[in-house]
Amino acid sequence: MTDVVWLCILGFLLSGWFVLDGANLGLGMALRHVGRSGPERRLILTGLGPFLLGGEVWLVAAAGLLLGVFPALEKDLLYAYYPVIVAFVTAWLVRDMGVWFRSRRSSAVWQRGWERSIGAASGVFAFAWGMLLGNVVHGVPDEGMPGVGTLFGPYSLLWGVTVVAALLMHGAVFTALRMPRARRARAVRTARRAGGAVLALFGLISLTTVAFGIDLAQRAPVLIVQAMAIIAAIGAERLLTAGRLGWSYACTALVAVAPVLMAGIASAPRLLEGIADDSTLDVLAGIVVPALPVLIAVQAWMWHTFREPVTSRSATFF
């Protein structure tokens, strides 16, 4: 397979994570706002349950592919953005701990504490991902760490806030999709508010990219993806008004995946510089190519099996 195909596979896996576990992060951020009581929040987490581990598999697969196919890039990312990566790995662990432990005791104090942990960790996880993508667009240094002004500069912070808003919108629609019809109103309102922020933030990214003189390898495709995200966000809001949650979720999935596609397209030539040798790629192709259809099939089966909204009688996974 060509180098570009390998980069596309990495992009596909990361896109899958942003769509699937990104919805879980958005649900986590919205948990205490959408669920106003302990039983309501328990119902929301019941809706999350079947999809938590299935969504995380995509990130694990992407990390494995990055390590095997792009070893030089993986090394540069870990070294240059160590603080950001530590932040999102820590947030990942805390988010999962919150989901696992929240319902282990009936104490209201215990449950509220873990609910806050889920919300905060989900927000940090999304924000750290956005900062990482913003820094990748800015340029991964060949050696050493970027300066504090770049690593935590306004451009990367803007990307962080944008990813938070995009995943919050996506997760709120996912929450509405999983809840009974009578309990969807707050999730729908949250999605609409986040949608307004998404439109403004994607526009700001365009302005600041020009203002800071960021070099985009493929400017036109990046702008096309950005326009796609804006149109999808507008479409999602209109579909929410029409009560078509499934199609609205499809639109917010495009919003959620837009940042990683933009970063990948903008940085593609630089990302391809550290690809592994042909013999390594041949071995990995024999593993990755058969595994991808299985991964997709399992995810499709999971969504088909748990397609109905949850009720108080639904099975709880955590």
Residue 310 in any domain: the answer is no
CA atoms within a 13 Å half-sphere pointing along the CA-CB vector of 170: 28
Residue 311 in any domain: the answer is no
Residue 299 in any domain: the answer is yes
Write down the pLDDT at residue 313. Answer: 85
Give the pair of three-digit tokens for residue 264.
């990948």
Q: Are 107 and 114 in contact (CB under 8 A)?
A: no
Quick one: CA dihedral 24, 26, 32, 37, positive or negative?
negative
Write down the pLDDT at residue 144. Answer: 59
Q: Are 66 and 275 in contact (CB under 8 A)?
A: no
Residue ranges making up the domain that contains 161: 3-305
Give the pair of three-digit tokens for residue 142.
């060949």
DSSP 8-state symbol, 102: T
- Which helix (H) or strand (E) covers residue 59, if one does? helix 52-69
Number of neighbours of residue 149 by Cβ within 10 angstroms: 10
Residue 101 in any domain: the answer is yes
Write down the pLDDT at residue 312. Answer: 83
Structural domain tally of the chain?
1
Q: Residue 70 maps to which CATH number?
A: 1.20.1630.10
Write down the pLDDT at residue 142. Answer: 62
Q: At what angle do helices 154-178 and 38-48 cross, to 10 degrees?
A: 100
Provide Rg for the chain, Cα atoms: 19
Write down the pLDDT at residue 107. Answer: 96
Write down the pLDDT at residue 262. Answer: 96
Residue 146 in any domain: the answer is yes
Residue 30 in any domain: the answer is yes
Residue 241 in any domain: the answer is yes
Task: Point out the residues of the chain with pLDDT beneath 70.
Answer: 1, 141-150
Q: What is the largest CA-CA distance in the chain?
A: 57
Residue 312 in any domain: the answer is no
